[in-house]
Amino acid sequence: MNSVILIVDDNAASREALESILSGQGYQLHTAEDGVQALKQAELLHPDLILLDVMMPGMDGFAVCRRLRSTPALAEVPIIILTALDDPDSRMEGIESGADDFLTKPFDRQELRSRVRTITRLNRYRSLHEQRESLRMMSQRMVTSLEEERMRISRELHDELGQLITAQLLDIRDLQSDLTLPPENLFARLERVHSQAYEVAVKVRRMAHELRPPVLSTLGLKQALLTHCSKFSSSTHIPIKVDIEDKVNELPDVYGIILYRVLQEALTNIAKHASANRIWVEVSLEDRHVNLIVQDNGIGLPADKPTSGIGITGMKERVALVGGELHVRSGKTGGTILAATLPFEQKTKEEGETLS
């Protein structure tokens, strides 16, 4: 993408001179005639560089610079102050107002081009801005999904468990007022209360299971992954070849939850979309990475539509929480390959113990 440069100068001849020096260099050039216009343009364009004249009527360059630096979204934009005043005082004021560099008028064409090239090549501002933007989106999605999860749990507690427990309470009260019933009727009524209580117990267990897979704490990660694969395999009748290193059990808890949830979604996707009759799951540890690969021999990803539903986005976000990456692609000879790589410090659950 071409770097965007905003030229701010009240003098039309100076603006044209700068435009002519920088044109044909692959930049997108924009201009502003005074400080107020400059701030508006900066907010609109998020330029990669601002060339800012100092002597302007109204708001001078230093004031514009200070305003930009105090606007969070623009605080990192590189600014070169253009000054005819080649004296130390204005340089000092430029530094204090937050400029990154100076150029003294009249400009040396070569010097101007090379300074601009150096700054835009680094593209520091744009990449920072993009990183921040994607972090912001990710945290927004996390907050939204947390809220959705809370609403789901609250609905389930209210509509399902709440109703069942209320019905039981009413039944028990009813029974208390009717203790003279013949034993067989009493037995039938107690039986109903019992089966409602049983239903509550099942629902509570299911909800707790959804919140944190208990198999992770009881069985350890390797066994939990194996168990999930074998349950999946027997319900879908798709054979899975599983290869999981024993050492995964030594990974910190958070990795276990991430790997378990990613495997769950990857297998669900295979059942939903792949039409596969063979699956391979591999979890291996390298020096400072744990790798999860889930491959199938199905139809592969659709070529015509984007493949970023909630499932894949969610898996990527989970993996990104520990600085990892996840890619999903069609295999060269068919099927789909999901590969996640999670970096880890060589510390295990036990303080100081290493995985090597």
* Interface with Mg ion (CB under 5 A): 269, 311
301 binds, among ligand ATP, Mg ion, none (CB under 5 to 8 A by kind): ligand ATP
By CB under 6 A, residue 332 contacts ligand ATP = no
The answer to whether 64 and 52 are in contact (CB under 8 A) is: yes
In the shown chain, the binding pattern of residues 187 to 206 toward ligand ATP, with x for contact by CB under 6 A and - for none, equals --------------------
28 binds, among ligand ATP, Mg ion, none (CB under 5 to 8 A by kind): none
Question: What DSSP designation does 99 have?
Answer: -
Among candidates 130, 128, 113, 126, which has minimal Cα distance to 26? 113
274 binds, among Mg ion, ligand ATP, none (CB under 5 to 8 A by kind): ligand ATP
Taking the C-alpha atoms of residue 69 and residue 60, their distance in angstroms, rounded to an integer, is 15
47 binds, among ligand ATP, Mg ion, none (CB under 5 to 8 A by kind): none
Residue of 307, 322, 331, 341 interacting with ligand ATP (CB under 6 A): 307
| Position 268, amino acid | T
The count of C-alpha atoms lying within 13 angstroms of the C-alpha of 293, restricted to the half-sphere facing its C-beta, is: 17
Among candidates 154, 128, 10, 1, which has minimal Cα distance to 73? 128
Which residue's CB atom is positioned nearest to Mg ion?
A: 311
By CB under 6 A, residue 232 contacts ligand ATP = no
CB of 79 to Mg ion, least distance (A): 46
| Position 327, amino acid | H
What element of type H or E holds 206?
A: helix 183-211
Q: Which of 126, 273 has the CB closer to Mg ion?
A: 273
Query: Which part of the chain contacts ligand ATP (CB under 6 A), choosing from 49-57, 214-222, 264-272, 285-293?
Result: 264-272
Dmax (CA) for the chain in angstroms is 109
By CB under 6 A, residue 336 contacts ligand ATP = yes
The answer to whether 247 and 291 are in contact (CB under 8 A) is: no
By CB under 6 A, residue 38 contacts ligand ATP = no
The answer to whether 304 and 330 are in contact (CB under 8 A) is: no
Report the b/e string of 331-355 with b at 16+ CB within 10 A.
eeeebbbbebbbebeeebeeeeeeb
By CB under 6 A, residue 270 contacts ligand ATP = yes
Residue of 296, 297, 318, 344 interacting with ligand ATP (CB under 6 A): 296
By CB under 6 A, residue 323 contacts ligand ATP = no
Residue of 67, 273, 316, 318 interacting with ligand ATP (CB under 6 A): 273
List contacts with ligand ATP (CB under 6 A). 269-270, 272-274, 296, 298-302, 307-312, 336
